[in-house]
Structure 1
Amino acid sequence: MVVLNKIYTRTGDRGDTALGNGDRVAKHSLRVASYGTVDEVNATVGMARLHADANMAAMLSRIQNDLFDLGADLCRPDMEADSKAEYTPLRIVPAQVDRLEAEIDTMNARLTPLRSFILPGGSALAAHLHLCRTVSRRAERLATELAGAEPVNEAALRYINRLSDWFFVAGRIANEDGHADVLWVPGANR
């Protein structure tokens, strides 16, 4: 259980912060940048939810909860449970990736195949979902860079990779099942 009774602690005033295992690292470390960007994704999802119908809002709510799980996963560098730890580290599990894939497949079944790239936009919800997509791609780039230097849960990497695909397909759903997608016209303004 998380208890936040004091918001500022002054422990990071010199530019470092505590990871989930208690280790202190620079606030600009790759691990902190990775889970910090996951937090950014979560904030963009909150904005998208303002424009979503009940079904889409429920899916986005599940994603927001998963994003906290992902942040918790990324903030614990130790991949094995530590006997000193108060609790077992929270990790993204394959079932969370499977749920995203099932939702992508269900949404995608309603869409006609694309014959062109699409421009981010259309409806307000689609525009927000495309922002979610691009920020999640940035989070993925940071997480994969981190995985090149330190151990990272493979399911976490798969989750963040599927997530941007989910946002892309959901953006098309938000554009009248793709009928209101704004297509890219190569060289249109030459």
Structure 2
Amino acid sequence: MLYTRTGDRGESSLYNGNRKPKTDQIFEALGAVDELNSSIGIAHHYCNKVGNGLVDQLIEIQCNLQDIGSNIATPRNDSSETQLRNTAFDEGHIDKLEGWIDTLDSQLPPLRNFILPSGGEASVFLHQARSICRRAERTTIPVVEANEADETVLKYLNRLSDYLFAAARYAAKKDELEENVYKKAKSGREASVQTRSLSK
């Protein structure tokens, strides 16, 4: 059965068998990472529709987020050596992500203005994932500081938001769509938006 009734009193189990209130900072972080994974799933759908070349990277990232969830759900200060070894998050994932960022960024025009989430469906959903990623990072900070998750998890989430930003701009370029550039409104007037082509 999908339901167990064990969480009806507001508690849930971790990988090591310990139970904590669902309001615990660990479950806040787990929930944010899960939401991030779902949002990347939406972005993946639209990237796949247009064939912009990002889908394999996004699937790998989703798998890494599952591993991050396992790491967070296994408090490093209160789990067995076997459990810690099974849920360790390798720093090599961060190096790979940085390589992807550099490759995407090298194909984009320099960023000289703030941009608004824009540039087509694939791009805007990648931007949405980026903002959720920032929240996942913020909620994971106290978990890492309490020695309940590895620091590599936090580093990966920090780099992932950069990747999603670069990927969003890249997706707009591949779709040959313009991104909206923020322009501060003058006093008493509505804010105006400029568009900029990514092909230049």
Query: What TM-score does the superposition give when structure 1 sets the normalisation length?
Result: 0.90
**Equivalent position to 1:23, from 1, 5, 18:** 18
> 1:169 aligned to 2:166?
yes
Aligned counterparts of 2:25 and 2:79: Cα–Cα separation in 1: 22
Q: Secondary structure at the match of 2:30?
A: helix
Per the alignment, residue 6 of structure 2 pairs with: 11
Per the alignment, residue 3 of structure 1 pairs with: none
Point out 4+ residue stretches in structure 1 off by more than 4 angstroms: none
Per the alignment, residue 57 of structure 1 pairs with: 55
Per the alignment, residue 75 of structure 1 pairs with: 73
Q: 1:186 to 1:75 in 2, by over 3 A?
A: same
Aligned counterparts of 1:105 and 1:82: Cα–Cα separation in 2: 38
Structure 1 residues 34-113: aligned runs within 5 Å: 34-52=29-47, 53=51, 55-79=53-77, 82=80, 88-113=85-110
Asked if 2 retains the 8 angstrom alpha-carbon contact of 1:91 and 1:153, the reply is: yes
Displacement of 1:101 after TM fit? 0.3
**Equivalent position to 1:128, from 115, 125, 128:** 125
Identical positions, percent: 34
Asked if 2 retains the 8 angstrom alpha-carbon contact of 1:79 and 1:153, the reply is: no
More displaced stretch, 97-106 vs 149-158: 149-158
Per the alignment, residue 27 of structure 2 pairs with: 32
Asked if 2 retains the 8 angstrom alpha-carbon contact of 1:17 and 1:27, the reply is: yes
Query: What TM-score does the superposition give when structure 2 sets the normalisation length?
Result: 0.85
Displacement of 1:133 after TM fit? 0.2
Aligned residues: 184
**Equivalent position to 2:135, from 138, 143, 146:** 138
Structure 1 residues 58-81: Cα deviation after superposition (integer angstroms, max 9, x where no partner)? 110001101101111111112586
What amino acid maps onto 2:85 in structure 1? Answer: T
Aligned counterparts of 1:92 and 1:119: Cα–Cα separation in 2: 33
Please, which runs of 5 or more residues in structure 2 have no aligned partner?
192-200
Q: 1:99 to 1:140 in 2, by over 3 A?
A: same
Displacement of 1:86 after TM fit? 6.6
Please, which runs of 5 or more residues in structure 1 have no aligned partner?
1-5
